[in-house]
Amino acid sequence: MTRTLASTPVKDGFAMPAEFAPHAGCWLLWPERPDNWREAARPAQLAFAQVAATIARFEPVTIGVSTAHYAAARLALPDSVRLVEMAHDDAWMRDVGPTCVADRRGTVRGVDWRFNAWGGLNGGLYFPWDQDEQVAGKVLEIERLDRYRAPLVMEGGALHVDGEGTALVTEECLLNPNRNPQLGRAGIEARLRDYLGVRQVIWLGKGVVNDETGGHIDNLACFARPGVVCLTWPDDRRDPQHAISLDAWERLHAARDARGRRLKVVRLPSPAPLTMSAREAAGVLRHQGTRPRLAGERLAASYVNFYIANGGIVMPLLDERTDRRAAAGLKRLFPRRRVVGVPAREILLGGGNIHCITQQIPQGHPVRSTGRQSRARNPK
């Protein structure tokens, strides 16, 4: 049975493991809404199916799908992917799913943030979002993991951790008045400490140009391992992304992590500016309450939006002119993982990428102390 706990992870000795720590599995949601995904979401469904099948080569994958789409999704997915019925408003599991924490015994629990569709009625992307709000709790029930309900509007894509006490976030997103206007920087840091177990928060400035989430960190930069950060970096100095990445570079070099280390920053090429075509925009239904898709609009494209699986990196393929260089950069960063690219423009058209549509459930592994090592994943 899943319990909702009144305590906080930090009080109970839990903290968020890094994405590069071992996973028990990965969750996604099925893209369905025709006012975000063109052509009734069919091209996006093919792209999501390819992402899911690729991740399933490395770890167990589960996808949540509505009743109406269950049969078609089952046909589109390999048997290796588990499909469960789950209502949702859109398909961004990173943001609506649980952020898992683990303790030294290897017990895993989930943090269920408040979700307001990236800004609520003040800049949010759609209304209503009540089904999305329930996704994290449902995933935790299916996984039989206990839940902390966090008093903070937050999305999984708005944070990265190194698993050793450091978090990476952006001011543009976390200090946006459309998330937690009652909390300042210190209040947000306190909640991140209580719910993720982090001791040091590194604040970058803005996210990727035109990122409709309000500047999620997961499109801009991430930890490749403790002490090493990967940052999106455009070739062209005239690209407005250049000043943003340069500012991030300077802040990262000035920062220390929770263990007092300086960070090594590795630049991953950004694609050249990509825009939505008139044909792509025309395939998206206009709907009141949903952000419209406009021809010519710059897409928030970044190779940093990859997923770290057990033994693999699943990266977005965005532009033939830069895909190979980005893949080579990721191979150097992750020499012991297999780097696999998946065509991801259809996911990008919906406003995010592979990292945004996935959420890992950590394995949780017991930390050896003086006594015998326990093997149980979730002893109750």
Question: Which residue ranges make up the site for ligand KQY (CB under 6 A)?
Answer: 36, 92, 94-95, 125, 157, 212-213, 216, 218-219, 350-352, 356
Is 222 among the catalytic positions? no
Q: Shortest approach of ligand KQY to residue 306 CB, angstroms?
A: 12
In the bound state with ligand KQY, the residue whose beta carbon lies nearer, of 111 and 258, is 111
What amino acid occupies position 224?
A: A
Q: Shortest approach of ligand KQY to residue 360 CB, angstroms?
A: 13
In the bound state with ligand KQY, the residue whose beta carbon lies nearer, of 352 and 364, is 352
Q: Shortest approach of ligand KQY to residue 41 CB, angstroms?
A: 13
In the bound state with ligand KQY, the residue whose beta carbon lies nearer, of 44 and 258, is 44
The residue nearest ligand KQY at its CB is 157
Q: Shortest approach of ligand KQY to residue 261 CB, angstroms?
A: 27
Among the listed residues 26, 173, 222, 356, the single catalytic one is 356
Q: Shortest approach of ligand KQY to residue 305 CB, angstroms?
A: 7
In the bound state with ligand KQY, the residue whose beta carbon lies nearer, of 229 and 258, is 229
In the bound state with ligand KQY, the residue whose beta carbon lies nearer, of 100 and 258, is 100
What is the DSSP pairing of strand 99-102 with strand 108-114?
A: antiparallel
Q: Shortest approach of ligand KQY to residue 128 CB, angstroms?
A: 15
Active site residues: 356
